[in-house]
Amino acid sequence: MALSLTKENYVLHRIHSITGVIPVGYYMVQHLALNSFSIGGEAKFNGVIDFFEGIPKHVLLAMEVLAIWLPLIFHAVYGVFIVSRAENNFFTTKYKWSHNRMFFLQRASGLVIFAFLIYHSLSTTGYKYATGDVERLKFAAWHEFFSNPLWVLVYATGIIASSYHLGYGIWNFCIRWGITVSEEAQTRIQKASALIFVALTLLGWGVIAGFIINKPGAAKTEAATAALVQPLSVATR
């Protein structure tokens, strides 16, 4: 298989397409779903963190490297290569076709995600492995982190870019792999992609809202209050 730095490779392009859905896209959905436990409060979110930290470290590291990091790094690096060769015509033509817009936004969102994930990964998983400090991943740290509106904006932007990239990446994947051939089928997937984009964005923003609205230690305070109230209620019977 001849490789060239001046043109995209057919096989690598298809691998890039499928890795964006499986495993990278799947991991993103699972990651947001588990992080949405923040909506339930500190105890529920920390329970998720404790579950993964309970897995033997060598097993967890192997899972992360093989199922997440290697596919993600390939998808990101080759994606930047694709973007560098892109010839966007959405701004240079009077015909603002939806496909031209999608072509541009897919590549623009990819660059936003590339920068966002470098910071997010290094400041969470990277920090954990470098220092051995798991507390950075837990609820209280995130609650304090999102007390800064700037970080709320950064993460809200990263989430909407990631959601768009995956949603319309599925549309592109179905075309590239011959799953949707007819124009009617492609239109249906395009509508489904829009719904996926909106649903994942709302789910991700819900994660942030959970960290902001819920207070660390609230469950302990409620338990302590209940412990004080119970003897009083028994005494007054």
pLDDT digit string, tens, across residues 96-145: 557 778 888 999 999 999 999 999 999 999 999 999 999 999 999 999 99
Rounded to the nearest integer, the mean pLDDT of the chain is 88
Within a 10 A sphere around the Cβ of 1, how many other Cβ atoms?
Answer: 6
Reference 17, options 106, 89, 84; nearest CA is: 106
Which residues are CB-contacts of 11 (< 8 A; sequence separation ≥ 6)?
A: 1
**Mean pLDDT value of segment 81-85:** 87
Lowest mean pLDDT among 61-75, 103-117, 208-222: 208-222
Cβ–Cβ < 8 Å for 107, 82: yes
DSSP label at residue 93: S
pLDDT tens for each residue of 16-32: 999 999 999 999 999 99
Tokens of 43: 């105890």
pLDDT tens for each residue of 35-44: 999 999 999 9
Within a 10 A sphere around the Cβ of 200, how many other Cβ atoms?
Answer: 23
**May I ask the CATH class of domain 10-87+96-213?**
mainly alpha
User: Does pLDDT of 226 surpass 70?
Assistant: no
Within a 10 A sphere around the Cβ of 78, how many other Cβ atoms?
Answer: 18
pLDDT tens for each residue of 146-170: 999 999 999 999 999 999 999 999 9
Element (H, E) at 176: helix 149-176
| pLDDT above 70 as % of the chain | 83
Give me the residue spans of the domains in the chain: 10-87+96-213
Q: CA-to-CA distance for 174 and 190, rounded, in angstroms?
A: 10
The identity of residue 170, as a single letter, is: I
